[in-house]
Structure 1
Amino acid sequence: MKLIELAKELNVSAESIKQFIQDFDLDLVDCISTQFEVKEDFEKFARENVDFLKLYETDLDKNKTVDQIAETINQPKDKIEKAIEENPSNIFDNGLFRSSISSYGIDQKLGGNYKFVYNYFGNKTKLQQRDFIGYRDLFFYISDILEPFLNPQQTKDWGIHKPAGIILYGPPGSGKIFWANKIAEIINYKFKEVKKHYLGTSFIDGNQTNFNDFLVTMMKEDKVLLFLDDFDEIMMERNAENNVASCNLETQEIILHHVSKFESEGVLMVGSANSVADIDEEILAPGRFDVVIPVFPPNAAERSEIILYSMTKNLDKDSLLFKILKNNKADKIPFWSETVKKMKVFSNTMLIDFTQSLKKRIKNRYQRTKDEKLKIDETLLNGALRDAAAKLTEEYLNQIAQFLNDVIINNLDDFQMRIHALKSELETYQSVETPRREIGFMHNDEDNV
């Protein structure tokens, strides 16, 4: 059963159910599939607790004061204010909180008893079976954008059309190609990467072909997603400061010529960009690539889950590494909480680098000691951390700063919590100027440099 069908049957909006999943930190894999098929446990929960879901929806849709929230969930006002102070834009000038805040979501974060929710799911799904970790907010944001693909009635009823082009933007290593594949999976389109050599002129079986021919061929196929990397470089605006390559200008012209036909021909082009700041405005015009989706580096909670997933992926329970992880309680998320605090603004790629380095260091120590109960100590963790941090360059930090500027301009209302968290993490890397040594001879009590 599709989520929208269940929501209609229970007389509860699908939007409130999506928000409920986020408020209660439920794993998507326990609730719905990528195509929004409802999982058995979640359907059972929804049917048995429809009264609570309706109560949740009513509260979510209501503008409310702190006093009203406190009365609803029986929690102290000061704790409630602290729980929502990081989301100030949800406060009207008259002191009321907008309907996007759930009293019950706040209560859950303050330790409210919701065992009746978690009895159904949350602890049953093995981490190894997860399709992806965290990012519930981004998944639902993307699914809303893709609704015209999933529900053709939306176009008939509201005139909301399928996007012809989407830009996924974010710093390197944040998983843009993963999300492009996920978009193709959600809308059931065939994923096709546009290789760089497709953009120029080439010879196949002695016949000359070019990018225009390639696009025409793709539009004859049924439901295809074209993924184009380095979109910001290829689609760069022409001006005195930017020297745009002639081949890129030609690619721009070809795409602009065909983009109006993408929707009717069953084509969706998804571009991957580090930034949208320098992309030509003609490309971003309505009906072209007017949908931009930010792909954030993982937050602290997601970093822990990604590390655990990568450390245990495909491991046999009898493997040496799994035994060592279990002996250190490193097969559970809390073990990694202190380490991820040192990984501020780390990309997904950096986290994978960390786990690969750590696995090798554990293996090397085991080969020396032959001790299955060896301790995963600070020496091992910090060594792997240094290896992973090699990609944490000044250029990367500048890319994070540019990404924050982009997302504040384009998607501020949609990802306020992520923006706030990423901004705070980036600020920890602000350099402090080292005092200069006075000119002259070194005194005896000074350390040699």
Structure 2
Amino acid sequence: MTQNITEFSKKLNISEESIKQFIQDFNLEISDCLSPNLGITQNFEKFADENKEFLKKYDEDLNREKTAEEIAENIHQPTEKVEQIIQNQFPNIYDNGIYRSSISTFGIDNQLGGDYQFIYNYFGNKTELKHRDFIGYRDLFFYISDMLEPFINPEQSKNWGIQKAAGIVVYGPPGSGKIFWAKKIAEMIDFDFFEIRKSQLKSILINDKKLSFDEYLSQMLKKDKVVLLLENFDDIMMFKQDNQNIIQDYEDVKESILHSIEKFEKENVLMIGSAKELAEIESEILAPGRFDVLIPIFPPNKQERAEMLLFNMTKNLSKDATLLKILQYNQADQIPFWKETAEKMKVFSNTMLVDFTQSLKKRIRSLYLKNKTENIRISQGILDACLKESASKLTGEYLNNVQEFLSEAEDNSYDRFAGRIKDLKQELETYKAKEEPVRTIGFHPDDK
């Protein structure tokens, strides 16, 4: 029988947090270690059974207070290098320079070239992209799993009185994958998933019968284990200002949700709102016991972009597909080929990455039909043309959405995503207009 992560951590006598941090520190694919609902895979169980002592040392180290100097001495590395990693990845919440909880000596040693091949002998240095549940985002996966702990682990309610969330808001720039993560949440807690689009707010067609939103919600409350995703949540739940035109359908939906939300936990219903930003949402909606769980959905980072490009280029291809042969001829069936392009895709959303790969596939196909050969070179010119085409969605409005998202993610979740926030800030900076220095009319006496 598959053990969940809570049961497994008790069996090993190490903390659940240590298992989660271990997976992140060694860049292990989540699907290699855990099932979607946090069940331990046979692969990870075998590793843990045969390396109990190492995992205990890892757990003890993670929970021990230590300075950067002590970490550096233990792994025989310069203190400056250790401090740089800590500065890049973790917020310094200890003014006295003492670190613990989420800062692992072993994790830092791994980044600085320590030999941990014995770990990768169990998991492999990489898992084929097509076998993954999703790419990257280990930090976000475990953040979400923490938020969902009362659903996954009933002990929290029984022993600690921690209640399940009635509502969650997933927020992020357009195209960042909010719907994907809402579906992932349903999968993690083993609930059925239903999506309510903006166009359905007035009437929802169920079994050839049109229902009002209130009637539809009443029906959902009769079901068991249901996730309801509500799109355009920030528009629907917007704070009303004086002299503002009110969309009556939105008001009806808001009132219906506020009227029913107290029943959600009892009836095993979880509502997820998808929003571009939080600023305009009425504070009453985000109050405790309502939509008080806020989950930031980030655009992919540089490494994730490279992996997503390869994944989308090879998705659904047969072993003898013409495109796959062309990719292999260019060594574009491997991640290193895509790293330079991924570097140029600063602040790109998931949708923009898909647009790029679709454009590239069409251009490669046209070259193949013209030249009748699989030995087609994917030139820099072709890549740049596709990059320019896919960047059409990189508008001022989109960049403003990213800026607002960064501000809200920093306010709400900085301690969990400090490194990701810092990297995204730096990428966003590259798009900010630089003011030209103003020169006074005439010439300076020193000019020659």
TM over 0.5: yes
Q: Distance in 2 between matches of 1:153 and 1:389?
A: 48
Letter in 1 for 2:183: N
Q: Distance in 1 between matches of 2:305 and 2:147?
A: 26
Q: For 1:300-353, what per-residue CA distance to the aligned partner results, in whole angstroms no more than 9, with x for missing partners? A: 010011000001111122211111111111111111111111100000000000
Alignment of 1:188-267 (within 5 A): 188-200=190-202, 209-240=211-242, 242-267=244-269
Q: Partner residue of 1:420? A: 422
Q: Partner residue of 1:66? A: 68
Alignment of 1:64-213 (within 5 A): 64-87=66-89, 89-123=91-125, 125-200=127-202, 209-213=211-215
Q: Distance in 2 between matches of 1:92 and 1:123?
A: 34
Residues 356/100 of structure 1: CA separation in 2 closer, same or farther (3 Å cut): same
Letter in 2 for 1:289: F
Q: Distance in 2 between matches of 1:221 and 1:342?
A: 47
Q: Distance in 1 between matches of 2:348 and 2:374?
A: 30
Letter in 2 for 1:400: V
Alignment of 1:36-51 (within 5 A): 36-51=38-53
Q: Distance in 1 between matches of 2:325 and 2:211?
A: 56
Q: Distance in 2 between matches of 1:259 and 1:307?
A: 40
Is residue 288 from structure 1 mapped to residue 290 from structure 2 by the alignment?
A: yes
Alignment of 1:379-390 (within 5 A): 379-390=381-392
Q: For 1:269-300, what per-residue CA distance to the aligned partner results, in whole angstroms no more than 9, with x for missing partners? A: 00000001110011001000001100000000
Question: What is the identity percentage for the equivalent residue pairs of Structure 1 and Structure 2?
Answer: 56
| Contact kept? 2:6, 2:153, Cα under 8 Å | no
Q: Distance in 2 between matches of 1:93 and 1:368?
A: 64
Letter in 2 for 1:161: Q
| Contact kept? 1:174, 1:347, Cα under 8 Å | yes
Q: 2:399 aligns with which of 373, 392, 397?
A: 397
| Contact kept? 2:167, 2:293, Cα under 8 Å | yes
| Contact kept? 1:199, 1:210, Cα under 8 Å | yes
Q: Distance in 2 between matches of 1:343 and 1:435?
A: 28
Residues 248/119 of structure 1: CA separation in 2 closer, same or farther (3 Å cut): same
Is the partner of 2:326 in helix, strand or coil?
helix
Q: Which runs of 5+ in 2 are unaligned?
A: 442-448
Q: For 1:123-182, what per-residue CA distance to the aligned partner results, in whole angstroms no more than 9, with x for missing partners? A: 463211211100111111111111111111111111110000000000000000001101
Q: Which runs of 5+ in 1 are unaligned?
A: 440-449
User: How far is the alpha carbon of 1:435 from its aligned partner?
Assistant: 8.3
TM-score (norm 1): 0.93
Q: Distance in 1 between matches of 2:303 and 2:78?
A: 26
Q: Distance in 1 between matches of 2:137 and 2:172?
A: 14
| Contact kept? 2:169, 2:294, Cα under 8 Å | yes
Residues 3/66 of structure 1: CA separation in 2 closer, same or farther (3 Å cut): same
Q: Distance in 2 between matches of 1:63 and 1:414?
A: 19
Is the partner of 1:186 in helix, strand or coil?
helix
Alignment of 1:316-331 (within 5 A): 316-331=318-333
Q: Partner residue of 2:434? A: 432
Q: Distance in 2 between matches of 1:66 and 1:208?
A: 63
Residue range with higher mean Cα deviation, 120-129 or 402-411? 120-129
Q: Tell me how many residue pairs correspond in the alignment.
A: 439
Letter in 2 for 1:117: I
Is the partner of 2:168 in helix, strand or coil?
strand
User: How far is the alpha carbon of 1:196 from its aligned partner?
Assistant: 3.4
User: How far is the alpha carbon of 1:371 from its aligned partner?
Assistant: 2.8
User: How far is the alpha carbon of 1:237 from its aligned partner?
Assistant: 0.5
User: How far is the alpha carbon of 1:5 from its aligned partner?
Assistant: 2.0
Alignment of 1:252-401 (within 5 A): 252-401=254-403
Letter in 2 for 1:273: A
Residue range with higher mean Cα deviation, 81-90 or 277-286? 81-90
Is the partner of 1:293 in helix, strand or coil?
strand
| Contact kept? 2:204, 2:213, Cα under 8 Å | no
Q: Distance in 1 between matches of 2:243 and 2:278?
A: 16
| Contact kept? 1:30, 1:122, Cα under 8 Å | no
Q: Distance in 1 between matches of 2:204 and 2:127?
A: 49
| Contact kept? 1:304, 1:340, Cα under 8 Å | yes
Letter in 1 for 2:106: Y
Residues 25/226 of structure 1: CA separation in 2 closer, same or farther (3 Å cut): same
Residues 113/93 of structure 1: CA separation in 2 closer, same or farther (3 Å cut): same
| Contact kept? 1:259, 1:288, Cα under 8 Å | yes
Letter in 1 for 2:64: K
Q: 1:27 aligns with which of 18, 21, 29?
A: 29
Q: For 1:215-239, what per-residue CA distance to the aligned partner results, in whole angstroms no more than 9, with x for missing partners? A: 1111001111111000000000011
Q: Distance in 1 between matches of 2:201 and 2:32?
A: 42
Is the partner of 1:244 in helix, strand or coil?
coil
